[in-house]
A and B are shown apart, each in its own frame.
Chain A
Amino acid sequence: MTFGKYLGTYIGLLLLTGLTFGLSFVSVGGWEWPLALGIALVKAGLVAAFFMHLVEMSAAHRLAGAAAAVLLAILILLAVADVATRPEEELGPAIHTAPFERDHAARTGRGE
């Protein structure tokens, strides 16, 4: 890693930051999340690869990072899939305390 590479990585990060920043002012329809997430991932990748020197390190280090990311992705995917594929639910929009909570609050002296 040379001084130049650090600076180059930083400039890349700034550019990508500017990109996401700009995109937040525009309506991109359904692409909002894939774009935001994708750019964040690329930025994280740049930090990990160059600032954290992953490019210079052995496979074991890269595997550690990759394993964590992959597992987290699986967890998020299946949890979101659950929520997304449930039948429509009737959830009230307002905050309300259920009877249990009112009793509990009364018993413990902690109010809302």
Chain B
Amino acid sequence: MTHPAGPSYLEERSVRSWLFTRDHKRIGVLFLIATALMMALGGIFALLLRLELLTPRPMFMSADSYNRLFTLHGVTMVWLFLIPSIPTAFGNFLLPIMIGARELAFPRWNLASFYLYCLGALVTLFSMFLGGTDTGWTFYVPYSSKTPTAIVPVLVGVFILGWSTIITGINFITTVHTLRTRGMTWMRMPLFVWAIYGTSVIQVLATPVLGMTLALVAVDHWLDWGLFDPGRGGDPVIFQHLFWFYSHPAVYIMILPAMGVVSELVTTFSHKNPLSYLAIAVSTFGIAFVGFLTWGHHMFTAGMSTFDAGAFGVLSMLVAIFSAIKVSTWVGTMYRGSISFKAPLAYVFAFLFLFVFGGMTGVAVATMSLDVHWHDTYFVVAHFHFIMVGGSLTAYLGALHYWFPKITGRMYPERWALAAALLVFGGFVLTFVPQFLLGNLGMPRRYHSYPESMQALHTISTGGSWALFGGLSITLSYLLWAARRGRLAGDNPWYSASYEWYVPSPPPKHNWPATPCFELDPYDYTTYAPDPRGKSDVGGAPDAPGGAPPAGDAQGAAHG
């Protein structure tokens, strides 16, 4: 499909043109496919775990296999899916377009980052053929230094994945600093860019600590140097300090991009500017920074001193403030907006409910006096799944639907999408709400069996996992179908004012024919993109068919 600005980025079809591409959009698509595959894999592991937990007796898995499987599930979901997903797929695709650039700062490093991801994934999953490891995704010493399982490939694989994310982070940060188009100050960038930037800062500063820590465990395991061995002057709790110094900010790596997506979806589907752009932008950095100060709340029962426990308890309360600011701002944005209820917005509603619910349970477990009862129970498992699945995955699905027309030029089937979203939401609730109750009953995490009295709740949870799987499978099916057969979407099917909708769908290879100059704010719904149903009380000029922005802006007229 041609356009005055050049052929679409999808035009060239050879395998070579994909495997050696330096186009950020193609690399985004490659990452999208790869991370989606990893999500499916991690999901299958989860289904197997939940199937085993249908009854208290071992069904088809020994306790040892169960340990290896939940380790694999955690490693796959955290490092192969959640951490990369939104930034590498949607960040890569959209960041340059959103700031009026033609490419990322370092296109070749971007491709390198993708191949490092593939290599890391291969090495990590290769360990499966060696039986995997049974330490849990947290690799606590002293067991991880001693385990007879194939831990080293997993550690090496995650180490490689870490460098992939660091390179992506460096690329994004540099791009935002040096490639913003003329006239685009920081306060005129789309909020998704702020989110990706904040995420990249965390990635660059936190991941190296993880890399070193895992490398040390690998060295310890291979060479038996006893670095964390108390018999040789070591301290296993120090491992936990180092591990969680990364892994707590890591959860913000997983949620900040999701929040960036929500900011975009809320404004577009309310046809309204954010209640406070500044609040969302500043709270992004608030989360990024304060998120680094709270890691010890994972260690309340580890043998850490009570002084530190107290410090971390207090610090942990601070980070919730910024999340609350965001949620109130989003809700305030929707108030008196002109709501288009489409699948992406359905996911936003699911996100708001599940994230707030999960976030409040987070504040609860960050309270030491409560956590000593909940630590290592299903309550914690439910809490983090509420955030990671109910938060991050939900936003990922919202992003997938919202930017589907931008990426493919085609529209997904709306009714199927809404039905699938409902199934996903329902399945999620059935899977994880019982787990809060199980936690309160004392069900320990990472156990492959349990007392008979807990069977009912486990059964509901397993049933929920099937519904969740069903919803996700349906989603995957119609998206794959729509990518080829969906109706043509037009350039701006959502009548959004954000900058990525100024370029055609799908975008041309170099994004912009010339350096663009954006006269309007990315959320200026008063001047442009009125509600086509005529329901809103925001004014605006009628726009061209397909929702194209006022002509002249994308053509790079020389105004500054």
Distance to closest chain B CB from A30 (angstroms):
20
Residues of B within 8 A of A81 (CB): 305, 307-308, 311
In the complex, the answer to whether B231 meets A82 with C-beta atoms within 8 Å is no
Q: Give Cα A31 to B177, complex, Å.
A: 42
A-B contact count (CB 8 A): 58
In the complex, the answer to whether A78 meets B146 with C-beta atoms within 8 Å is no
Whether a CB of chain B sits under 8 angstroms from the CB of A1 is no
In the complex, the answer to whether B205 meets A71 with C-beta atoms within 8 Å is yes
Interface residues of B in 206-246 (CB under 8 A from A): 209, 224, 230-232, 235, 237-238, 241-242, 245
Q: A98-B231, A104-B148 are in contact. Are A82 and B201 (CB under 8 A)?
A: no
In the complex, the answer to whether A107 meets B148 with C-beta atoms within 8 Å is yes
Nearest-neighbor residue (CB-CB) of B246 within chain A: A75
Distance to closest chain A CB from B242 (angstroms):
8
Distance to closest chain A CB from B231 (angstroms):
5
Q: Give Cα A67 to B173, complex, Å.
A: 14
Interface residues of A in 95-112 (CB under 8 A from B): 95-98, 100-101, 104, 107-108, 110, 112
Which of A13-21, A44-52, A83-91 participates in binding chain B?
A83-91
Nearest-neighbor residue (CB-CB) of A112 within chain B: B224
How does the 8 Å CB contact mask read for B131-154 relative to A, with 1 for contact and 0 for none? 000000000000000101000000
Residues of A within 8 A of B303 (CB): 86
Residues of B within 8 A of A79 (CB): 238, 241-242
In the complex, the answer to whether B308 meets A78 with C-beta atoms within 8 Å is yes
In the complex, the answer to whether A74 meets B293 with C-beta atoms within 8 Å is yes
Q: A81-B308, A86-B305, A95-B232 are in contact. Are A75 and B241 (CB under 8 A)?
A: yes
Whether a CB of chain A sits under 8 angstroms from the CB of B441 is no
Q: Give Cα A86 to B209, complex, Å.
A: 24
Most buried by A among B238, B242, B307: B307
Distance to closest chain A CB from B130 (angstroms):
15
Whether a CB of chain A sits under 8 angstroms from the CB of B378 is no
Interface residues of A in 18-68 (CB under 8 A from B): 60, 67-68
Cβ-defined partner of B146 (8 Å) among A75, A92, A101: A101
Residues of A within 8 A of B224 (CB): 110, 112
- Contact residues of A: prevailing secondary structure: helix
Q: A67-B201, A71-B292 are in contact. Are A82 and B241 (CB under 8 A)?
A: yes
Distance to closest chain A CB from B218 (angstroms):
15
Q: A75-B209, A110-B224 are in contact. Are A95 and B292 (CB under 8 A)?
A: no
Q: Give Cα A71 to B295, complex, Å.
A: 12
Distance to closest chain B CB from A76 (angstroms):
10
Whether a CB of chain A sits under 8 angstroms from the CB of B1 is no
Size band of the interface chain A makes with B:
20 to 34
Distance to closest chain A CB from B244 (angstroms):
10
Residues of B within 8 A of A97 (CB): 231
Q: Give Cα A112 to B229, complex, Å.
A: 14
Whether a CB of chain A sits under 8 angstroms from the CB of B434 is no
Residues of A within 8 A of B292 (CB): 71, 74
Nearest-neighbor residue (CB-CB) of B224 within chain A: A110
Whether a CB of chain A sits under 8 angstroms from the CB of B480 is no
How does the 8 Å CB contact mask read for B285-299 relative to A, with 1 for contact and 0 for none? 000000011001000
Most buried by B among A75, A82, A104, A112: A82
Residues of A within 8 A of B296 (CB): 78, 82
Q: Give Cα A59 to B201, complex, Å.
A: 15
Whether a CB of chain A sits under 8 angstroms from the CB of B282 is no
Nearest-neighbor residue (CB-CB) of A108 within chain B: B148
Residues of B within 8 A of A60 (CB): 177
In the complex, the answer to whether B237 meets A82 with C-beta atoms within 8 Å is yes
Residues of B within 8 A of A101 (CB): 146, 231
Whether a CB of chain A sits under 8 angstroms from the CB of B304 is yes
Distance to closest chain A CB from B443 (angstroms):
28
How does the 8 Å CB contact mask read for B143-183 relative to A, with 1 for contact and 0 for none? 00010100000000000000000000000000001000000
Q: Give Cα A104 to B241, complex, Å.
A: 26
Q: Give Cα A96 to B252, complex, Å.
A: 41
Distance to closest chain B CB from A106 (angstroms):
12
Distance to closest chain B CB from A38 (angstroms):
24
In the complex, the answer to whether A83 meets B146 with C-beta atoms within 8 Å is no
Q: Give Cα A112 to B224, complex, Å.
A: 9
Q: A82-B304, A104-B148 are in contact. Are A75 and B245 (CB under 8 A)?
A: yes
Distance to closest chain A CB from B248 (angstroms):
11
A→B interface (CB under 8 Å): 60, 67-68, 71, 74-75, 78-79, 81-86, 91-92, 95-98, 100-101, 104, 107-108, 110, 112
- A/B interface sample: 7 pairs, CB < 8 A: A75-B242, A79-B241, A82-B305, A83-B235, A85-B306, A95-B232, A100-B146
B→A interface (CB under 8 Å): 146, 148, 177, 201, 205, 209, 224, 230-232, 235, 237-238, 241-242, 245, 292-293, 296, 303-308, 311-312
Chain A to chain B: the 3 pairs with minimum beta-carbon distance, closest first: A85-B307, A85-B305, A82-B308
A83-B235, A85-B307, A97-B231 known; 17 other A-B pairs, CB under 8 Å? A60-B177, A68-B205, A71-B205, A71-B292, A78-B311, A78-B312, A82-B296, A82-B307, A84-B305, A85-B305, A85-B308, A95-B231, A95-B232, A98-B231, A101-B146, A104-B146, A104-B148
